[in-house]
Structure 1
Amino acid sequence: MSTRRKEALDGYLFIAPWLIGFVFLVSGPMIASLVMSFLSWDLFSPPVWVGLDNFRALLSDRLVGISLWNTAFFTAISVPLNLVTALGAALLLNLRLRFRSVFRTAFYLPAVMPAAANAILWFWILNPEVGLANSVLRMVGLPELQWLQDPVTAKPSFILMNLWGIGNTMVIFLAGLQGIPQSLHDAAEVDGANWWHKFWAVTVPMLSPVILFNLVLGVIASFQIFTSAYLLAGNGGPEQSTLFSVLYLYRLGFEQFRMGYAAAYAWVIFVVILVFSLLQFRLSRSWVHYEGEDSR
């Protein structure tokens, strides 16, 4: 066997675990769900081919529109807020401070906590009667809120909870900040730039690929919000204000046993996420700067 073939064989052997996992755990189930979306199946009786009936039914399902609106509202506010907060935390933790490693650990710790533990913690924080949130409001003389029990404040409550887990985004921003050459900041400072000018003229352009990366991942993750919504508002209440897309998908498939209909809705969510991701990549051409690219 030639050296080239041996190297190719070694390469395939190394990627074999991932390739097997991709075929059996990703692409296989995706193809199965696509076929299932054209079926009427309740898990107990034989599946029946219904063609596009499931997709037509989605157009007239009021809860589909509500769940997509709730998810879009959550995404539109939560993602930018998380990006700004994570970037601000990364900028602070990139400074030469005492106990910097301790602060970094403290900011990152909520991101590695189990999702169920986070949900239980926020359940007690947002408890209208004995929760910490209303205790703080009482201390400063502000009116108490019902938080998860009020349709007006339910979605903002989940946005607040999501802000708790900015650790992963912050670490990626921090890595991007440390990859910016100090010579660029020094050159800008020699030209008379202050902190704000250096931030907008040097930091943001050099960090733009990282911002795009976190933006795309943030949008994808926001459309997949499930654990906290299921544990804290399993029925989508109050008044369906927390019925997010994946929560409704779960209810269709594993509570109502409408597996074909649920598979069709899953593909609708997939297409929505795909369109948003492609749109972000398309728009990024006007504001994302890659080091070494031709600026003409």
Structure 2
Amino acid sequence: MIANAIRQSARAGHRLLSIRRTYKTQRYLFIYLTLALPLLYFFVTRLVPIVYSFNISLREWDVLSPDKPFVGLDNFKSLFADEVFRRAIGNTFLFVAVGIPGQLAAGLAAALLLQSATRFRGFFRTVYFIPYVTSIVAVSWVFRWLLMPNGWVNAMLLKLGFDAQLFLQSPNQAPYVIALTMIWQSIGFQMLIFVTGLEGIPSEYREAAKIDGAGSWRRFWHITLPLLNPVILFSAVIAGISYLQTFAQIVSMTQDGGPLNSTRTLVYHIYKLAFKNFEMGSASAATVILFVIILAFTLLQLKVLNKKVEY
């Protein structure tokens, strides 16, 4: 009797173990199948076009012709020999150099002001964030209208005794005007990111520094700013990619990257090559160059800005 009970108990244990193994196998199978669907979608919509673009960059193709003869690196050589393309790369880096520091500084300043506010904090967050969710085209056209030679801004400058400015019609002023427009529209996004980072810093650090006699500036420079490093890194990477892909503002505010190609960016040059000149090989080669620039710039930011701070 005891032996039979032991054997039955052992068989029940084996059945339970088998059920558990089956359940575990089915569970992991469901998880992997669930993950496979978005991965398949990503592969079809992202990786395949990227590989195809790399292939087209090594060929000569004008869309209308079915032939795509292999030309190797000729498309890349012709691009770098083109003065307009080199100007587009320079303008793109100008937007990056002006936009990233300006965007981070404006967003951090807005976040610090909101953190110190005691009333209507939610209202001010909403006000700052509204431009970010507004259509880029709408914002660009409003600024274009304000900055026209006979627009509101010049009218105010004349009333104040200053000379009227060309703004978007000046090769020297237009790039900075567009960069400032992008900074203004992105303040709300950066503000929310920095507010989240500021709220995650323990108040004990600042209180201890205050007791030790550190002023507001020293507390900000030696405590707040270093502990915001992960937030600054994230914001800088997102802003860098955004400025490297500047397009809608160019089309809306200058229409053709003017004046004198002073606002033509790399993405806009790709658009002109592909959909105006139908030079798909050159456009794909420019796309590959943009991909390399974004990758290298992001890795550089991760290397330079990613610093560990411990207290």
User: TM class, shorter-chain normalised?
Assistant: over 0.9
Aligned AA for 1:154?
A
Separation in 2 of the partners of 1:51 and 1:212?
A: 37
Of residues 57, 67, 71, the one that matches 1:37 is 57
Change (3 A) 1:21 1:189: same
Q: TM-score, normalised by structure 2?
A: 0.88
Q: What residue number does 2:176 align with?
A: 156
Alignment of 1:211-250 (within 5 A): 211-250=232-271
Aligned residues: 289
Of residues 109, 114, 119, the one that matches 1:98 is 119
Q: TM-score, normalised by structure 1?
A: 0.93
Q: What residue number does 2:192 align with?
A: 171
Gaps of 5+ in 1: none
Alignment of 1:29-178 (within 5 A): 29-46=49-66, 47-129=68-150, 131-165=151-185, 166-178=187-199
Q: What residue number does 1:289 align with?
A: 308
Please report how far the alpha carbon of residue 277 of structure 1 lies from its aligned counterpart in structure 2 after TM superposition. 1.3
Q: What residue number does 1:191 align with?
A: 212
Q: Mark the structure with the bigger radius of gyration.
A: 2
Please report how far the alpha carbon of residue 61 of structure 1 lies from its aligned counterpart in structure 2 after TM superposition. 1.1
Q: What residue number does 1:11 align with?
A: 31
Identity of aligned residues (%): 37
Please report how far the alpha carbon of residue 281 of structure 1 lies from its aligned counterpart in structure 2 after TM superposition. 1.5
Secondary structure of the 2:228 match is helix
Please report how far the alpha carbon of residue 16 of structure 1 lies from its aligned counterpart in structure 2 after TM superposition. 4.0
Separation in 2 of the partners of 1:180 and 1:160?
A: 30
Separation in 1 of the partners of 2:34 and 2:107?
A: 35
Please report how far the alpha carbon of residue 139 of structure 1 lies from its aligned counterpart in structure 2 after TM superposition. 3.2
Please report how far the alpha carbon of residue 4 of structure 1 lies from its aligned counterpart in structure 2 after TM superposition. 3.7
8 Å Cα contact 1:253-1:259 kept in structure 2: yes
TM-superposition CA deviations, 1:179-226 (whole Å, max 9, x none): 001111111111111111110111001101110111111111111000
Gaps of 5+ in 2: 1-20
Separation in 1 of the partners of 2:286 and 2:181?
A: 26
Separation in 1 of the partners of 2:117 and 2:106?
A: 19
Separation in 1 of the partners of 2:24 and 2:55?
A: 40
TM-superposition CA deviations, 1:5-35 (whole Å, max 9, x none): 3332333344345323311221111111011
Separation in 1 of the partners of 2:29 and 2:159?
A: 67
Separation in 1 of the partners of 2:173 and 2:91?
A: 13
Aligned AA for 1:42?
D
235-244 or 273-282, which moves further after superposition? 273-282
8 Å Cα contact 1:38-1:49 kept in structure 2: yes
RMSD: 1.6
Please report how far the alpha carbon of residue 291 of structure 1 lies from its aligned counterpart in structure 2 after TM superposition. 5.6
Aligned AA for 2:125?
R
8 Å Cα contact 1:41-1:258 kept in structure 2: yes
Please report how far the alpha carbon of residue 36 of structure 1 lies from its aligned counterpart in structure 2 after TM superposition. 0.8
Secondary structure of the 1:48 match is coil
Is 1:256 paired with 2:247? no
Is 1:278 paired with 2:299? yes
